[in-house]
Amino acid sequence: MKKIAVTIVLLGLLIGSSRAQGPQPDKADFPDDFLWGVASAAYQVEGAYQADGKGESKWDFFANTIGVTQFTIGEKQTANVAINQYDREQYLKDIQLMKELGVNTYRFSIPWSRIIPHGVGEVNPKAIAHYHLLIQDLKAAGIEPLVTLYHFDLPLALLQQGGWLNRESVQWYKNYAKVIFENFGNEVSHFITFNEPYIEFFVANFLINPSQSKESANVRYASEMNNVHHQLLASAEAIRLYHEMNLNGKIGITFNLSPCLPFDPNNPEDVEAVSLQDELLNRIVLDPVFKGKYPEKALAAIQQYNPGFQPSKQDLQLMLDNQPDILGINFYAPAQVKKDDNAPLGVSWMGNNTDAVKMANGPVRPEELYNLLMRVKNEYGDPEIIITENGASFHNDEDTLVEEKVADALRKDYIQRHIAAALQAKKEGVKLKGYFVWSGWDNFEWVFGYTERFGLIYVDYDTQQRYPKSSYYWYQHFLNNRAMK
């Protein structure tokens, strides 16, 4: 009798531990042409912020003047050096680490202010040469480039002319995109027009320059809509241009998307707030791009404080006629939504994370990635999708270098469970074409500076030494079809 009891207990422990680890995804369940990668963004990794004739970007200005001190513990942190990836000697080492990891694609961004230092006008030949060489070096290592044209870093000269609030920004961007396509259109098979319009305007602009009052916050929030609208228009113009140039790759746009859940499911106000927050966070970009219209409640809430925002039928038709070939989705966590009279438009989701060990971007719920992918498939015309970012920075001490090792068990578990969730959605028909971990390396996390570490590879910012973490080795085993114990 005792023997059976012991067996049952051991069996329970075994089942429990496998559930704790989550399902073991198998790379063999994905097609050979699936894009496996890591992602970065120029401002966060390149450094060399004034090298080779580069113009000043909006982020160079923010970080070096306004500063992001309220989030970097009083210290002014910039990406003037970052992780030095503009330097070829350094980036060749990082390409070697990607090659050993086993990825077949690297998602990076090209800074507009390197290519066209003043935003419009003269093209910088040194910058063109630099990215030709980077792409050549990547391909020599068997790694394909996936290029983001714009990742928050508008040339400062254009910000000084009104930036994205100025309708001319659509033409400025189209001109920049033409330069990119003319120079790199035959070497790069996947382009992303913009990264996360929502974050750039409805989040970062507020974190950099918090509003002084609730009324001003509502007006400022609503005014950001013009920026987002012009970026969606510019994206549609670039997609149209890309196809007019008969380039034979794929072009799309990347949105941060988060399923909205009530912070307190027993609070009817939180439950009620979910649909407005979902419109303001997800549908505000998905609906115009895939349905040619803005979601009604969000539009009404914005127009209450920004009555001048009246998107024309022509604008919306342009978006509908030039839909992305592929949708980039950046998923980190669901949004836990509160009715919040102190938040712009009366709803909030940032910082409502109820997990015991906080992940920087929200609660760890891989099942919500599955739900999101199924929703996009069923409600937005079953588009091709690439998960252009998925990763984690945990607020505990797992990103600590001990004897040149980093045992980031939570990050490894996070990635494993999210790949498994993505695989389940793919098995149920989602046209998932790629998955990119954010990020290959620890890097400059915008207003949070270097206080968040998202990398598979630890970076010692003083020495620029790289140390692959345990999550790197898990991803390497997974990518090389070696079952992980």
Least CB distance to ligand GCO at residue 152 (A): 7
Least CB distance to ligand GCO at residue 52 (A): 23
Q: Is 296 a catalytic residue?
A: no
- Closest to ligand GCO by CB, 120 vs 207, is 207
Two tokens at 221?
Answer: 């929030």
Q: Is 224 a catalytic residue?
A: no
Residue of 454, 458, 472, 475 interacting with ligand GCO (CB under 6 A): 454
Q: Which amino acid is at 440?
A: G
* β-pair type (347-348, 335-339): antiparallel
Two tokens at 225?
Answer: 């809509």
Two tokens at 126?
Answer: 């040194």
Q: Who contacts 388 (Cβ-Cβ below 8 Å, separation ≥6)?
A: 39, 107, 146, 192, 195, 254, 328, 329, 330, 434, 436
Return the bridge partners of 171, or none: none
* β-pair type (384-390, 347-348): unpaired
Q: Where are the alpha helices (DSSP H) in 46-84?
A: 58-61
Q: Specify whether the CB–CB gap between 260 and 337 falls below 8 A.
A: yes
Binders in 28-57 for ligand GCO, by CB under 6 A: 41, 44
Residue 91 touching ligand GCO (CB under 6 A): no
Look at residues 313, 247, 320 and name the one whose alpha carbon lies nearest to residue 286: 320
Residue of 85, 205, 227, 330 interacting with ligand GCO (CB under 6 A): 330
Residue 179 touching ligand GCO (CB under 6 A): no
- Closest to ligand GCO by CB, 263 vs 446, is 446
Binders in 375-434 for ligand GCO, by CB under 6 A: 389
Residue 256 touching ligand GCO (CB under 6 A): yes
Residue of 445, 450, 459, 478 interacting with ligand GCO (CB under 6 A): 445
Interaction mask 344-363, ligand GCO, x per CB under 6 A: -----------------x--
- Closest to ligand GCO by CB, 270 vs 408, is 408
Name the CA radius of gyration of the chain, rounded: 22
Which among 80-88, 92-100, 438-446, 474-482 is the span making contact with ligand GCO, rule CB under 6 A?
438-446
Catalytic residue among 144, 237, 389, 398: 389
Residue of 263, 331, 438, 472 interacting with ligand GCO (CB under 6 A): 438
Two tokens at 74?
Answer: 């009083």
Q: Where are the alpha helices (DSSP H) in 313-397?
A: 313-321, 366-379
Residue 108 DSSP SS3:
strand
Least CB distance to ligand GCO at residue 189 (A): 21
Catalytic residue among 46, 56, 144, 196: 196
Two tokens at 265?
Answer: 């499911």
Q: Please report where in the chains the tokens 């990215």 appear, as a residue.
A: 131
Number of residues binding to ligand GCO, judged by CB under 6 A: 13
Least CB distance to ligand GCO at residue 393 (A): 7
Interaction mask 189-228, ligand GCO, x per CB under 6 A: ------xx--x-----------------------------
Least CB distance to ligand GCO at residue 200 (A): 8
The interaxial angle of helices 366-379 and 409-427, nearest 10 deg, is: 30
Look at residues 422, 332, 326, 324 and name the one whose alpha carbon lies nearest to residue 374: 422
Q: How many CB atoms lie within 10 A of CB 307?
A: 9
- Closest to ligand GCO by CB, 277 vs 330, is 330
**What residues are labeled active site?**
196, 389
Binding residues for ligand GCO (CB under 6 A)? 41, 44, 195-196, 199, 256, 330, 361, 389, 438, 445-446, 454
